[in-house]
Every structure is written in C-alpha cells, then in structure tokens.
Amino acid sequence: MKAWEATVRKTQAVARKRANTIFGTYGPSHVEEEIIDQVDVEEENEGHANGEVYHSERFLPNGDYYSGYWVDSFPHGHGKYWWTDGCMYVGDWFRGKKMGKGTFSWPSGAMYEGNFKSGYMDGEGTFTGPNGDSFKGSWVMNLKHGHGVKEYSNGDVYDGEWNRGLQQGNGKYVWKNGNSYVGEWKNGVICGKGKMCWKNGNVYEGNWEDGVPKGNGTLKWDDGSFYVGNWNKDQNEQNGTFYPSASLLEGGNLDWDPQQVYNTDLLECSICPNEKVSILPSQKKLAVWRSAKATENNVRPRRMSVDGRIDAAPVDREFGRMRLSDCAGTPPRITCVDDAMDGYIRGSPIRHPKAVKRQGETISKGHKNYELMLNLQLGIRHSVGRPGPVPSLDLKPSAFDPKEKYWTRFPPEGSKSTPPHPSCEFRWKDYCPKVFRALRMLFKVDAADYMLSICGNDALRELCSPGKSGSFFYLTNDDRYMIKTMKKAEVKVLLRMLHAYFSHVRSFDNTLMTKYFGLHCVKLTGPAQKKVRFVIMGNLFCTDYTIHRRFDLKGSTFGRMTDKPESEIDATTTLKDLDLNFIFRLPKTWFQEFRRQVDRDCELLEQERVMDYSLLVGLHFKEATGDQTPPPGCRTPAGSEDGSAPRLSRADRDRLLSGLAGRSLGINMSARVERTERKNDLDFQLVGEPTGEFYDVILFFGIIDILQDYDITKKLEHAYKSIQCDPNSISAVDPKAYSRRFRDYIYKVFTEDT
C-alpha cells in the first residue's frame, strides 16, 4: 500500500511539473511540491549503489528536464538537459559538469557544437549566432582563443589568431566587396605591420595603429605610382614623397592628397563587431537536492548545485600559525565532493596567520618625516597638476635624456607658481617629466585620481622597517601606490634604462616588471642640504583579498630563509626561497604567456646589466574565507533573462576574476598551488617534492627590485661570499648568470596545471 501511495504521489508530481512548465505555475501552495521533489530524488536513487552509473529521465525541482545517465544524483555520461528558458545541452557530462563533446543551443537560435570543459566552451568548436555569424576554431573558457575562422553575416571573413575573444596576432580579413587585409591585430583592431589590398588594385603596406595607417608605410597604385613616408591621420604630422608613374607624368596629373586614404579609401573597410551572448553555458546551472540519506534525520539537507558546490556555510576564520619550512610529516588528506569533481585531492586546511592591522605607521603631525611627506605631496600636486602639452606616447629621444630635469623652489610664503604651505622651504626636482607622464597614460592612470591618492586629505603610511638596501617605503592610504626612497646609484640606473623600459612596457601589456609613475627629489634648505630621492611605483598587493602568504623568490639559497622567530611571523612577513613549500600551477594559456613574458622581461634586465631582482608572489587561500565579493574593477555580467542579477557560482566567479576575463598577468589570477616537502637530508633543496595536496588560491606576482646594477660593489660582494660558500648559491652574480638561474628556478616553481 505504501509503495502504491508513493507511486501515485510521484506520478501526480511529474504531471504537475509538466503542467507548470507548459502553462505556468498554479495552485494555492508550493510547499508540498518542494517536499515531493526531494522525495523524488531520494526514491530515484534507491536501489543504486554509490558510484553506479544508471539511466534516468527526470523533471527537476525547478521545472527543468533531463534525460540521460546519472551517478550519485549527478548527470554523468551522455545526456540531454532542457532549461525552462529554452536553452538546451545535448552531450557528455562528468558529475554534473558539461565535459567532453556536446551541443548547446539558445532560444534565439544560436548554437555551439564542440568541446566543453568544466561547463565552459573550451577546445575546438563551432558557434553559430542568431544573426548568421559563425566561428570555427579554438576556445578557452567561453572565449575565442587561438586560431579560428569567423564568417560574418554580411559576407566578411576573418581567418587568424584570437586572444580572449578578440582578434590578436596575425590574421587575414576579407571584406565582401573584395578588399582584404593581411597582418597584425591587437585587441580586435588592425595594429602593427600589415598589408591592405583594395579591389581597385591599390595596396598599402606598412605600420598601422587603431585601424588606420600610422608610421612608415608605402601606398602603391596599380598604374605603378607609389607614395612613401610617415603616415598620420593628423595632416600636420603627415610627411612623405609621391612618385608618379610615367602615364601620370605625361598627363601632368600630380595632385594627390594622402588624407584621401583616411577620408575615403578606409571608409569601406570597417571591421564587423563580434557577437554578444546573453548567457553563457557555464552560467546555466542545475540544481538537485542531496539525498537525505547522507544527512542526519533531523537536519534538512543543504541546497547543492549539480557541479558539487554547496551553499556557503559558516567558515572558521581563525587560524593558528604554521611554519612554512616545517616539512616533517604530511598533514592528513581529506576528499570532498568538490575534489571528486575536479579530479584532485584537496589538502587539509592551511593554517593562516591571524589577521593584522593595516600595514605601516600613519605619518601624522609630530612624526619625524611629517614635513618630508608634506613636501612630497606639494611637489606631486605641482608636477601633475600644472598645465602642459597633451601627453603623447610618441616621445622624442631628448625626453629620455638624464639631463632632462627641472627644479622648482617652494618657499613657505608661496610664489608665482607654488602655493603657500606650512612646511619648511625646499626645492623640488622632476626627472624626465614627459616620460613619466606618458607612462601614467600608458598604465591608464587618471591624473586626478593619482593626485587624490598621494596628495589627498589622508596621510601616507610608513612601513615599519626599511628594506635591505636601507630604503624607506611609504604607502598611500588607498594602497594603490608605494613610494620608495632611492640611492643616487639607483636613480642613475633607472634613468639609464628608462628608454628601454618605456619601449618594453609599451610593447608588452603583460610585463611583470614594476610599474613606475614618477621619479623626484626633495632638497631641504638649510645647513644640512639634505637630498631625498624617491620613485613612485604601483603596489602589487592593492586588492580587497587578504594576502595570506607573500614570498620573495630569487633562485638562490645563501641567506634565503626568513630570520624572524616563529612568534613574529604574520600575514605581512615576506618569506624567501627556502621558506617556500608550494608549486604554483597556472592554467595552460596563462602558463604559456607567463613563460614568454618572464623570458622577455629577463632579457631586458640582462641587456641592461641588472641583477638581484626577484619575483614577489602573494597568495590568497580561498578556503580561508567564505568571501565571494569580487575585487574592485571586475565587471559583473549582464542581467539574466528575468531581469534579475545573475547568480554565478564561486568557481565561475573565480574564473571571471582570472586573467582570461581581461585582467593582467599576475593580478587576481585564479590558480591552484600544490604543497611540497623537502627531504630531511637536503636542507637547502630549493624545490621540494610534490605531495599531491592542492589548494585553490588567488595569485598576485610581479618582478621587483630591478634597479641594482652589477657594479664594483656587487662584484666585490660576489668575490667575498664565494670564499664562504658555493658561488652559485649567492645573489650577487653576473647578470647573464643571474637571469639564467632565476628563470630555471621560476620555471620549476611555476608549472602548467594539467
């Protein structure tokens, strides 16, 4: 009798859900339906052992429909899932995630057919848009990435390289009217060296920027005429020579304006925009109830998404301290539902240092450096705020001359160009101001925000102790900028390499080298005549995430272990090479870009005879907090079809925060770290043995301290320390050897996440 009643209830529930799906919800109450939905899943699972794969057809609690294979309440194997909004996926599943080959269709008529990975369009696949556009090629996490062919509905075709959803690299674009372009692209526009062929036979070959010719180039006509010179949309900057053909010379028709290319010829060569998808396959989630058999009888099971992520529960945020270099023994491993999804063993919880107050001491009135801070803020406000020519990235060589520096006197009573102030009289020096103004523009730093951060009402904070070089560090109140005092020798190195540095960061958006925004000097008047030189840099750890671990990595062993006692190590302690017991695993595309960029950066530093630099790495362990709040500057996706804000899972949000969502290499990167152990008989083993324990983290990293010249002081240091220990273990080595050793080490601690 009970079995018969259960069957009737089940049949009624299925009929009711079908009616709800087709005609809309009706009836006085949904409480009973919710309970029956839970019973449905429990009863469906009866008779199936854990891990057993079986076929089933189900109407899920939210009205969606699935038909296919299951395992432990997860779609697993081949199956078809239909959402109530009209989206549908038919293909392979792995424990609730779209994984393998499949087809995803939208109610608009759009369709993707190809490979999926963890719910994302990832691998080779073909996307057909609702307007008739189609793309066939490589995908990474829902974005076109790699080689692909895009056929637009208007007849245009692009065949070439893509990066994060936009044309980037080498590619060919053919317009329907017969015009074509072959060459370099950047961020979806023609940029770099390339060749444009018009259907009338005219050909331009040369440099491009933002979709138009800029720089050296040659325009050839089919009659043999050609024009060679420097191209620019601004007529005043355009200059070159026109060489007419014999037929033109005979006819005497020598009148031609280069601006015709911009005003007429390029008008019919516009690039079609890429399609916008309202909702991505990774955002379409399934929801089932975990079987009550696995829970206590008196506890209602928590809602769980079908990819294994359970609704957030209270997390213990207090952790004790653990010495990173303590490698005696392996902590116990635990296997979670999430671990089974991702195919790896999650390590036992990391014990993080307790939270500490904000780093640094506020420089208030009475502080020994209070007047110096006022002078610095006055000088910055004067340098950045004074009127001048519009900043340009095209600088003349004279702008980089080390002699390009300007002094300004700041008397307390004020002058024609400076305001009155309560501090002592001082003089202010700007080094190469045009270059640093261009760098701020290149790094997209707004002048008003820059002044507000450094010169606003909030005081600077001085870090508790100077660095090894004796330099002092100051932080702005919003943590965006770091100010470092410099030795005269360091200033000389920066000025010497400034031209190469500017060209490098302009060429490579993902450079890991420190970002410099200004170089200045304050000279105090009086008998002391004290000079304080300082540089303004970006703060790598400016983030809403708590940095639980920070490492300074060089690849050397001599003196490369923190000398702080256990009781003094906290979240602000910078640990060193021999303290490191993790391997950092990056997604494939980011790992490849990481290796390329480290090679480029090290080649520049080696060329400039610089050594003693290091890779600063910050880790935020995700399990340490339940915080799902995105960091500032991260865009949230558009609203869902019902007008409400989309609810992304933690894993999806983490992926969006990674570099593939348009963020820079080394900033807010979702990754994994694997715990390592050093063998007891190898005290100075740089890289420990992997343990198989993984942790989900947010990574921050960049190359710092790039101003140490291999001068006579460092050569003497190398000779002296070589007597005491292995010459290969010390930091002070020749720049070429330093670069090679640094890269070899970094490529061991950073690997591809397979």
For every residue of 461-478, DSSP letters joined together read EE-SS--TTS--EEE-TT
End position of a domain, from candidates 539, 567, 584: 539
Strands 582-586 and 750-752: parallel
Residue 643's pLDDT is 37
Residue 654's pLDDT is 43
Alpha carbons within 13 A on the beta-carbon side of 267: 5
Distance separating the N- and C-terminal Cα atoms of the chain = 54
Angstrom distance (rounded) from CA 210 to CA 195: 15
Angstrom distance (rounded) from CA 354 to CA 571: 7
Sign of CA dihedral 292, 294, 295, 297: positive
Angstrom distance (rounded) from CA 712 to CA 715: 5
Residue 713's pLDDT is 67
CATH of the domain at 464: 3.30.800.10
CATH of the domain at 705: 3.30.810.10
Residue 704's pLDDT is 92
CATH of the domain at 113: 2.60.450.20
Alpha carbon 33 to its chain's center: 45
Angstrom distance (rounded) from CA 631 to CA 670: 12
Q: Which two structure tokens, joined as six digits, stand for 125?
A: 């696949």
Tell me: do 435 and 451 sit in the same domain: yes
Tell me: do 531 and 555 sit in the same domain: no
Tell me: do 532 and 552 sit in the same domain: no
Tell me: do 462 and 566 sit in the same domain: no
pTM of the model: 0.54
Domain count, the chain: 3
- Cα–Cα distances in angstroms (integers) from residue 92 to residues 78, 141, 187, in the given order: 4, 17, 33
* CA neighbor of 70 nearest in space, from 56, 50, 49: 56
- DSSP H or E stretch at residue 655: helix 650-657
Give the total residue count for the chain. Answer: 754
* CA neighbor of 491 nearest in space, from 519, 467, 516: 519
Alpha carbon 605 to its chain's center: 23
Residue 310 lies in a domain: no
Residue 269 lies in a domain: no
End position of a domain, from candidates 191, 222, 245: 245
Per DSSP, the residues of 372-425 read HHHHHHHHHHHHHHS--SPP-S---GGGG-TT-EEEEEE-TT--SSS---SS--
Residue 515 lies in a domain: yes
Angstrom distance (rounded) from CA 556 to CA 612: 10
Q: What is the dihedral of CA 154, 160, 163, 164, to 10 degrees?
A: 30
Kindly report the number of other CB atoms within 10 A of residue 38's CB atom.
18
Residue 709 lies in a domain: yes
Angstrom distance (rounded) from CA 726 to CA 559: 12
Instruction: Classify residue 224 by its DSSP letter.
Output: S
Angstrom distance (rounded) from CA 19 to CA 33: 13
Q: Which domain holds residue 606?
A: 541-624+663-753
Residue 43 lies in a domain: no
Burial of 203 (0-12, 13-18, 19+ CB in 10 A): middle
For the chain, what is the total number of helices (H) and then of strands (E)? Answer: 13, 35
Q: Are 464 and 445 in contact (CB under 8 A)?
A: no
Tell me: do 510 and 614 sit in the same domain: no
End position of a domain, from candidates 539, 570, 587: 539
Instruction: Classify residue 598 by its DSSP letter.
Output: H
Burial of 230 (0-12, 13-18, 19+ CB in 10 A): middle
Kindly report the number of other CB atoms within 10 A of residue 29's CB atom.
7
Residue 726's pLDDT is 57
Which residues does 368 contact at the CB level (< 8 Å), separation at least 6? none
Q: Are 751 and 584 in contact (CB under 8 A)?
A: yes
Residue 379 lies in a domain: yes
Q: What is the dihedral of CA 415, 419, 420, 422, to 10 degrees?
A: -140
| Rg, Å, the chain Cα set | 31
Tell me: do 481 and 559 sit in the same domain: no
**Alpha-helical regions (H) of 537-610:** 588-607
Tell me: do 183 and 59 sit in the same domain: yes
Kindly report the number of other CB atoms within 10 A of residue 236's CB atom.
6
Q: Tokens 């990774």 sit at which residue? A: 282
Burial of 254 (0-12, 13-18, 19+ CB in 10 A): exposed
Q: Tokens 């049949």 sit at which residue? A: 11
* Beta-bridge partner residues of 507: none
Q: Are 582 and 675 in contact (CB under 8 A)?
A: yes
Angstrom distance (rounded) from CA 602 to CA 746: 12
Residue 382's pLDDT is 86
Residue 314 lies in a domain: no
Angstrom distance (rounded) from CA 323 to CA 346: 20
Q: Which two structure tokens, joined as six digits, stand for 400?
A: 């980089």
Tell me: do 123 and 233 sit in the same domain: yes
Tell me: do 567 and 446 sit in the same domain: no
Residue 725's pLDDT is 58
Angstrom distance (rounded) from CA 466 to CA 462: 9
Tell me: do 508 and 598 sit in the same domain: no
Where does 507-567 show beta strands of DSSP type E?
Answer: 516-524, 531-538, 549-553
Residue 645 lies in a domain: no
Tell me: do 389 and 495 sit in the same domain: yes
Mean per-residue pLDDT pooled into runs of 10, the chain (754 residues): 46 45 36 37 57 80 83 85 87 87 89 89 89 88 88 89 87 88 89 87 85 84 78 77 68 64 76 80 67 40 34 33 34 35 50 61 82 88 79 88 89 85 87 92 88 84 67 87 91 94 92 94 77 92 88 83 75 85 89 93 92 91 57 35 38 41 74 83 68 89 88 63 57 82 92 85
Residue 5: left if φ>0, alpha if ψ -120 to 50, beta else—which one? Answer: alpha
Tell me: do 520 and 613 sit in the same domain: no
Kindly report the number of other CB atoms within 10 A of residue 270's CB atom.
10
Q: Which two structure tokens, joined as six digits, stand for 583?
A: 């391997």
Which residues does 235 contact at the CB level (< 8 Å), separation at least 6? 259
Angstrom distance (rounded) from CA 618 to CA 746: 15
